[in-house]
Amino acid sequence: MKRRQSAKPAKSPKAPAPDLSVKVGKLSLRNPILGASGCVGYGEELLEFFNPEKIGGIVAKSISLKPRLGNPTPRIVETASGMLNSIGIQSVGVESFLKDHVPHIAKYDTAFVASIFDEREDDYCELARILDKEEAIDGIEVNLSCPNVERGGITFGVEPALAASLIEKVRKATSKPLWAKLSPNVTDVRVIARACVDAGADALSLINTITSMAIDWRARRPILARNTGGLSGPAIKPVALRMVSQVHEALPEVPLVGIGGIASGEDVCEFLVAGASAVQVGTANYANPRALPVLVEELSDCLRAEKIARAADLTGTLRLNSVPSAH
């Protein structure tokens, strides 16, 4: 099989390094590349592979009020250009998170966003109140969209009224930047997006994983213990780009954080053009624990090759084709 040739842009020694700094609402980032929640642990796990000050920041794995065991195994399976997971928010609980884990990453000058998940509105609010007091936490992402637990999570993320009610209450519990992480498992992502923004979300992260199934036909069984899981990886990038573009078109003033199958600097540029101010990278960290800093380099190379001075200048520059009505 012929090796796929990568279109590496030629580096011009004269071109100055592009300015990668971006803002997501009030939150300033060194560059637009963040580790995605659930795919970078609590941040500390990756410290042996790179300095987190090279990347935009970390969105920690979702934390619940009390510790959660998580789902039975098998929890993961690879599929074409992607993988399914059904981890089920295995969580150490917020107390241990703050005491045993956050201090390791708080030493570094990099954005640290906590992700919160629980089963009831009150639990989300309590989490937000606790995290609001922590200087090390630069923002809170509300996980409205975990597809792998029975209660909480996705039930909030697929019902606009529930999403709005939850965000409104969490908003009152914290003055930190508040991001809502949206599910792709909805008919129209713009409806939920608008509901979250109207309820007080500062930014929207999209997309979470797509509910999916893998089957062992010989055994006549789904491969995952909980039957279904969330699809991630390059397979979902086109779905994510479509949704980011749709939400940006509907809500052009709202900062978006693009997520879904990013595995190269070119992918980052595509999300920025579609309307994202920053991106989160998840599954790519599994294939290569140094993926995040490599992506920062690749993004810089892409911008330099196209003589784009600032990464932020790319955001929302997509020009949609005018679509003639069907004859």
Partner 1 sequence: MSVFRPNAVLQRTRLLSGEAGVRGALYRSEIRLENAPRQVAPGQFFMVRASGGGSDPLLPRALSALDYDPRRGVLHVCYRLYGAGTAALAARKPGERLEVHGPYGNGFDLSEPQKKQTIVLVGGGVGVPPLYLLAKELSKKHEVLLFQGAKAAAELLLVPDFRRLGVKVHVATDDGSKGFSGRVGELLGEHLSKLAALRPAPIIYVCGPHPMMKDVAARSKAAGLVCRVSLEEKMACATGICLGCVVLTEKAGAKKYVPSCTQGPVFDACEVVW
Mutual orientation of helices 265-274 and 237-250 as an angle, nearest 10°?
A: 30
Which amino acid type is present at position 125?
C
The full length of the chain comes to: 327
Nearer to partner 1, 90 or 155 (CB): 90
Query: Shortest CA distance to 66 belongs to which of 91, 100, 37?
Result: 91
Distance CA 18, CA 163 (A): 38
The residue annotated as part of the active site, out of 146, 196, 269, 302, is 146
Q: How buried is 327 (Cβ within 10 angstroms: 0-12 exposed, 13-18 middle, 19+ buried)?
A: exposed
Distance CA 144, CA 167 (A): 9
Query: Shortest CA distance to 255 belongs to which of 66, 46, 22, 4?
Result: 22
Quick check: 96 and 251 in contact, CB under 8 A?
A: no
* Tokens 């989490």, residue located: 127
Q: Does the annotation mark 125 as catalytic? A: no
Selected range binding partner 1 among 137-145, 201-209, 252-260, 298-306, rule: CB under 8 A: 298-306
Selected range binding partner 1 among 41-49, 120-128, 147-155, 174-182, rule: CB under 8 A: 41-49
Q: For partner 1, which residue of 125, 241, 295, 311 counts as binding (CB under 8 A)?
A: 295
Q: What is the distance between the terminal CA atoms of the chain, rounded to a whole angstrom?
A: 44
Which amino acid type is present at position 238?
P
- Using CB under 8 A as the binding rule, whether residue 10 contacts partner 1 is answered as no
- Using CB under 8 A as the binding rule, whether residue 6 contacts partner 1 is answered as yes
Nearest distance from C-beta of residue 148 to partner 1, angstroms: 11
Query: What is the x/- site pattern for partner 1, positions 257-286, by CB under 8 A?
Result: ------xxxx----------------xxxx
Nearest distance from C-beta of residue 216 to partner 1, angstroms: 11
Nearest distance from C-beta of residue 94 to partner 1, angstroms: 17
Query: Shortest CA distance to 256 belongs to which of 322, 318, 164?
Result: 318
- Using CB under 8 A as the binding rule, whether residue 74 contacts partner 1 is answered as yes
Q: For partner 1, which residue of 65, 87, 131, 274 counts as binding (CB under 8 A)?
A: 87
Selected range binding partner 1 among 13-21, 64-72, 189-197, 310-318, rule: CB under 8 A: 64-72
- Using CB under 8 A as the binding rule, whether residue 49 contacts partner 1 is answered as yes
Distance CA 74, CA 86 (A): 8
- Using CB under 8 A as the binding rule, whether residue 26 contacts partner 1 is answered as no
Which amino acid type is present at position 87?
I
Quick check: 155 and 183 in contact, CB under 8 A?
A: no
Nearer to partner 1, 45 or 249 (CB): 45
- Using CB under 8 A as the binding rule, whether residue 311 contacts partner 1 is answered as no
Task: List the catalytic residues.
Answer: 146
Report the interface residues with partner 1, using CB under 8 A.
Answer: 1-4, 6-9, 38-41, 45-46, 49, 61, 69-70, 72-78, 80-83, 85, 87, 90, 233-235, 263-266, 283-291, 294-295, 298, 301-302
